[in-house]
Protein backbone atom coordinates (compact mmCIF):
# COMPACT_ATOMS: atom_id res chain seq x y z
CA UNK A 1 0.00 0.00 0.00
CA UNK A 2 1.29 3.43 -0.92
CA UNK A 3 2.06 5.61 2.10
CA UNK A 4 3.07 9.25 2.44
CA UNK A 5 6.50 9.47 4.07
CA UNK A 6 8.15 12.71 5.16
CA UNK A 7 11.91 12.23 5.19
CA UNK A 8 14.35 14.98 6.17
CA UNK A 9 17.64 15.64 7.94
CA UNK A 10 17.50 17.95 10.95
CA UNK A 11 19.90 19.43 13.49
CA UNK A 12 19.67 18.74 17.22
CA UNK A 13 18.13 22.20 17.65
CA UNK A 14 15.45 21.58 15.03
CA UNK A 15 16.75 23.27 11.86
CA UNK A 16 16.69 21.73 8.38
CA UNK A 17 19.01 24.37 6.91
CA UNK A 18 21.40 26.93 8.33
CA UNK A 19 21.05 30.72 8.01
CA UNK A 20 21.62 32.59 4.74
CA UNK A 21 20.11 30.02 2.35
CA UNK A 22 20.63 31.05 -1.28
CA UNK A 23 20.85 29.42 -4.71
CA UNK A 24 24.63 29.07 -4.25
CA UNK A 25 24.31 28.17 -0.56
CA UNK A 26 21.43 25.73 -0.66
CA UNK A 27 21.78 24.34 2.86
CA UNK A 28 22.67 27.67 4.43
CA UNK A 29 25.72 28.36 6.58
CA UNK A 30 26.81 25.12 8.21
CA UNK A 31 23.83 23.19 6.84
CA UNK A 32 25.86 20.70 4.79
CA UNK A 33 26.66 18.93 8.08
CA UNK A 34 23.03 17.77 8.21
CA UNK A 35 23.60 15.51 5.20
CA UNK A 36 27.03 14.13 6.05
CA UNK A 37 25.42 10.73 6.62
CA UNK A 38 24.06 10.64 3.05
CA UNK A 39 27.53 11.17 1.56
CA UNK A 40 29.29 8.80 3.93
CA UNK A 41 31.11 5.64 2.90
CA UNK A 42 29.71 3.86 5.94
CA UNK A 43 27.78 0.78 4.71
CA UNK A 44 24.93 1.23 7.20
CA UNK A 45 24.40 4.84 6.14
CA UNK A 46 24.58 3.93 2.47
CA UNK A 47 22.07 1.15 3.11
CA UNK A 48 19.62 3.57 4.72
CA UNK A 49 20.00 5.98 1.81
CA UNK A 50 19.37 3.19 -0.67
CA UNK A 51 16.30 1.99 1.21
CA UNK A 52 14.86 5.50 1.21
CA UNK A 53 15.37 6.15 -2.47
CA UNK A 54 14.29 2.68 -3.57
CA UNK A 55 10.87 3.12 -1.96
CA UNK A 56 10.19 6.38 -3.83
CA UNK A 57 7.28 6.05 -6.20
CA UNK A 58 6.96 9.86 -6.36
CA UNK A 59 8.78 12.69 -4.61
CA UNK A 60 7.33 16.00 -3.41
CA UNK A 61 9.26 19.21 -2.79
CA UNK A 62 8.54 22.90 -2.32
CA UNK A 63 9.42 25.62 -4.81
CA UNK A 64 12.40 27.01 -2.89
CA UNK A 65 13.99 23.56 -2.76
CA UNK A 66 13.27 23.04 -6.45
CA UNK A 67 14.98 26.32 -7.34
CA UNK A 68 18.11 25.23 -5.43
CA UNK A 69 18.09 21.73 -6.93
CA UNK A 70 17.55 23.03 -10.46
CA UNK A 71 20.05 25.85 -10.00
CA UNK A 72 23.60 25.79 -11.41
CA UNK A 73 25.02 24.31 -8.18
CA UNK A 74 22.18 21.82 -7.72
CA UNK A 75 21.69 18.21 -8.71
CA UNK A 76 23.95 16.54 -11.25
CA UNK A 77 24.67 13.07 -12.61
CA UNK A 78 26.65 12.43 -9.42
CA UNK A 79 24.42 14.05 -6.76
CA UNK A 80 20.69 13.82 -6.08
CA UNK A 81 17.78 11.69 -7.22
CA UNK A 82 18.94 12.46 -10.77
CA UNK A 83 22.06 10.37 -10.21
CA UNK A 84 22.06 7.14 -12.18
CA UNK A 85 22.61 4.88 -9.17
CA UNK A 86 19.53 6.23 -7.41
CA UNK A 87 16.87 6.19 -10.08
CA UNK A 88 14.46 8.81 -11.34
CA UNK A 89 10.98 8.84 -9.83
CA UNK A 90 8.50 11.54 -10.84
CA UNK A 91 8.91 14.81 -8.94
CA UNK A 92 5.98 16.93 -7.81
CA UNK A 93 6.70 20.58 -6.95
CA UNK A 94 4.31 22.65 -4.81
CA UNK A 95 4.42 26.17 -6.20
CA UNK A 96 2.30 29.23 -6.91
CA UNK A 97 3.48 29.28 -10.54
CA UNK A 98 5.44 26.90 -12.75
CA UNK A 99 8.95 28.02 -13.77
CA UNK A 100 9.51 29.31 -17.27
CA UNK A 101 12.35 26.83 -17.83
CA UNK A 102 13.92 23.79 -16.15
CA UNK A 103 17.63 22.94 -16.23
CA UNK A 104 17.11 19.29 -15.23
CA UNK A 105 14.74 18.69 -18.14
CA UNK A 106 15.56 14.97 -18.31
CA UNK A 107 13.72 14.43 -15.03
CA UNK A 108 9.94 14.02 -14.74
CA UNK A 109 8.60 17.25 -13.23
CA UNK A 110 4.99 18.15 -12.38
CA UNK A 111 4.24 21.60 -10.96
CA UNK A 112 1.11 21.77 -8.80
CA UNK A 113 -0.24 25.27 -8.23
CA UNK A 114 -3.38 24.36 -6.27
CA UNK A 115 -1.87 23.52 -2.90
CA UNK A 116 -0.12 20.82 -0.90
CA UNK A 117 -3.10 18.47 -0.62
CA UNK A 118 -3.46 18.40 -4.41
CA UNK A 119 0.27 17.81 -4.78
CA UNK A 120 0.08 14.83 -2.45
CA UNK A 121 -2.96 13.52 -4.33
CA UNK A 122 -1.08 13.79 -7.62
CA UNK A 123 2.01 12.15 -6.17
CA UNK A 124 -0.05 9.29 -4.71
CA UNK A 125 -1.57 8.60 -8.13
CA UNK A 126 1.90 8.52 -9.69
CA UNK A 127 3.29 6.29 -6.94
CA UNK A 128 0.37 3.88 -7.16
CA UNK A 129 0.84 3.63 -10.93
CA UNK A 130 4.55 2.96 -10.42
CA UNK A 131 3.70 0.32 -7.81
CA UNK A 132 1.39 -1.46 -10.22
CA UNK A 133 3.99 -1.34 -12.98
CA UNK A 134 6.84 -2.61 -10.80
CA UNK A 135 4.89 -5.17 -8.79
CA UNK A 136 6.07 -3.77 -5.43
CA UNK A 137 4.79 -1.16 -3.01
CA UNK A 138 6.21 2.30 -3.61
CA UNK A 139 5.54 5.39 -1.54
CA UNK A 140 5.15 9.14 -1.79
CA UNK A 141 8.23 10.77 -0.26
CA UNK A 142 8.16 14.38 0.94
CA UNK A 143 11.80 15.44 0.83
CA UNK A 144 11.36 19.07 1.88
CA UNK A 145 11.83 21.75 2.48
CA UNK A 146 10.94 22.23 6.07
CA UNK A 147 7.83 24.32 5.44
CA UNK A 148 6.33 21.66 3.16
CA UNK A 149 6.97 18.83 5.62
CA UNK A 150 5.88 20.87 8.63
CA UNK A 151 2.65 21.87 6.89
CA UNK A 152 1.95 18.31 5.73
CA UNK A 153 2.42 16.86 9.22
CA UNK A 154 0.29 19.61 10.77
CA UNK A 155 -2.49 18.95 8.25
CA UNK A 156 -2.52 15.21 8.90
CA UNK A 157 -1.32 14.37 5.38
CA UNK A 158 1.69 12.26 6.44
CA UNK A 159 1.66 8.59 7.44
CA UNK A 160 5.31 8.20 8.45
CA UNK A 161 7.89 10.76 9.58
CA UNK A 162 11.60 9.91 9.27
CA UNK A 163 14.13 12.29 10.81
CA UNK A 164 17.87 11.95 10.28
CA UNK A 165 19.11 13.67 13.41
CA UNK A 166 22.57 15.13 12.80
CA UNK A 167 24.91 15.78 15.75
CA UNK A 168 25.15 19.51 15.12
CA UNK A 169 23.67 22.69 16.60
CA UNK A 170 23.09 25.28 13.88
CA UNK A 171 21.83 27.99 16.23
CA UNK A 172 19.49 29.47 13.62
CA UNK A 173 18.21 28.81 10.13
CA UNK A 174 15.11 27.15 8.71
CA UNK A 175 13.09 25.39 11.44
CA UNK A 176 11.25 22.16 10.71
CA UNK A 177 8.19 22.97 12.81
CA UNK A 178 6.76 26.44 13.45
CA UNK A 179 3.65 26.79 15.64
CA UNK A 180 2.83 23.14 14.98
CA UNK A 181 -0.41 21.82 16.47
CA UNK A 182 -0.21 18.91 18.94
CA UNK A 183 0.10 15.55 17.23
CA UNK A 184 0.85 12.09 18.58
CA UNK A 185 3.66 10.01 17.08
CA UNK A 186 4.47 6.34 17.63
CA UNK A 187 8.11 5.41 17.32
CA UNK A 188 8.83 2.69 14.79
CA UNK A 189 12.60 2.54 14.92
CA UNK A 190 15.77 4.29 16.00
CA UNK A 191 19.00 3.47 14.16
CA UNK A 192 22.33 4.96 15.21
CA UNK A 193 25.05 5.35 12.58
CA UNK A 194 28.33 7.27 12.76
CA UNK A 195 26.96 10.53 11.32
CA UNK A 196 23.31 10.58 12.46
CA UNK A 197 20.53 8.98 14.46
CA UNK A 198 17.70 7.90 12.19
CA UNK A 199 14.26 8.11 13.82
CA UNK A 200 11.08 6.80 12.22
CA UNK A 201 7.58 7.48 13.55
CA UNK A 202 4.02 6.62 12.63
CA UNK A 203 2.02 9.86 12.58
CA UNK A 204 -1.26 9.16 14.37
pLDDT 10s digits, 105-147: 999 999 999 999 999 999 999 999 999 999 999 999 999 999 9
pLDDT 10s digits, 27-49: 999 999 999 999 999 999 999 99
- At the topology level, CATH places domain 4-203 in Dihydrofolate Reductase, subunit A (3.40.430)
User: What's the CA gap between 77 and 204, in Å, rounded?
Assistant: 38
Q: Cβ–Cβ contacts within 10 Å for residue 133, how many?
A: 10
Res. 195 pLDDT band, cuts 50 70 90: very high
User: What's the CA gap between 118 and 10, in Å, rounded?
Assistant: 26
Q: Give the pLDDT of residue 87.
A: 62
| Percent helix / strand / coil, the chain, rounded to 5 | 25, 30, 45
> CB–CB of 4/139 below 8 Å?
yes
Amino acid sequence: MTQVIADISVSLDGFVAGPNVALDNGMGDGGDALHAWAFSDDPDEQGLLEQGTNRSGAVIMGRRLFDIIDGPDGWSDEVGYGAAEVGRPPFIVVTSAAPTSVRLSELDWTFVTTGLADAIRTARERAEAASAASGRDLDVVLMGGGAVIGSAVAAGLVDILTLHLAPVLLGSGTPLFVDAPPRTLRQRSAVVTPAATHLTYDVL
